[in-house]
Structure 1
Amino acid sequence: MAISVLVVDDDDDIAMLLVSSLERAGISTARAGNGREGVERVRADRPRVVLMDWMMPGTDGIQAAREIRRSTDIPQPHIIMLTARVHSSDQEDAIRAGVDEVVAKPFRPREVVGHVKELLELAS
């Protein structure tokens, strides 16, 4: 079964909360623990939506989003950035990096799942 959503987060608790919430909603998921692994999984698994944390060691979410957007050899997923960085300049940086939407932490898992479902319907 192809994955629909890739969750990229170095925080195990947040990642597992998102994965379990999505899977309970019948959405196939995979997980990556950092930005570098996330880019590799996007290339390999070709998810339709990526939920990505901004602040991660090594390759952060912004760097990973830029790399995904530069990759012309893969279908482009929707990228949702999950972050505690909520200043308008941070959101502008995310949009310039190719992020489709920014979701502020803390978030409600049910709202994230609903938003992902909407994006998956648009992508169908």
Structure 2
Amino acid sequence: MDKPFVLLAEDNEGTCTLIKALLQPEFQVEVAGDGAETIEKLKARQYAVILLDLLMPVTDGYAVLEFLKRDHPELLPRVIVMTASISRRAMEGVREYAVGGVITKPFEIEEVLATVREMTGIDPRPPRGSLLSSGMLLLLADFLRQRWM
């Protein structure tokens, strides 16, 4: 069976490294470092899940949401917004797009994996013997957080 494609729209290298390490055993992960690149990738391929940072260079995540709302509203439920801004105004702005979920930064890696797995119809619990269930990925996450975040 082919692995589902996940688009990770994030400009922080450490966050990208962490999320890719988390998801790649089960998903094909493509990274876009800014909103303009995200829009180009969305035009070229269908993604099972879109992890979208709101604050990115060139074109921000809100512009990506506007693009999706205008040209591909059917994809909005596949979007998981990742944001450090948890203000009421920001959350109301995101809710207007009817996205599939919101994860606030700093996030727990288990939450990211469970959300992506659930959105793709996979049991949200990590399989036995996986890096996450063994705790190895948690150690990697702590190391990467200390180094890049």
TM-score bracket, normalised by the shorter chain, equals 0.7 to 0.9
Which protein has the larger Cα radius of gyration, Structure 1 or Structure 2?
Answer: 2
Which residue in 1 is equivalent to 2:21? 20
For structure 2, list consecutive stretches of 5 or more residues without a partner in the other structure: 123-149
Which residue in 2 is equivalent to 1:76? 75
Output the CA distance in 2 between the equivalents of 1:99 and 1:76.
Answer: 9
Letter in 2 for 1:7: L
Say what the alpha-carbon RMSD is for the aligned residues. Answer: 2.0
Which residue in 2 is equivalent to 1:36? 36
Output the CA distance in 2 between the equivalents of 1:44 and 1:98.
Answer: 23
Shift of 1:100: 2.8
Which residue in 2 is equivalent to 1:10? 11
Change in Cα spacing, 1:35 to 1:98, as seen in structure 2 (3 Å) is farther
Q: Percent identity?
A: 28
Question: Structure 1, residues 6-38: CA drift from partner, whole Å, max 9, x if none?
Answer: 0001111101211110013x1111111111111
Say if 1:38 and 1:64, in contact at 8 Å, map to a contact too: yes
How many pairs does the alignment contain?
Answer: 120
Letter in 1 for 2:22: S
TM-score by length of 2: 0.73
Which residue in 1 is equivalent to 2:85? 85
Change in Cα spacing, 1:117 to 1:16, as seen in structure 2 (3 Å) is same
Change in Cα spacing, 1:70 to 1:2, as seen in structure 2 (3 Å) is farther
For structure 1, list consecutive stretches of 5 or more residues without a partner in the other structure: none
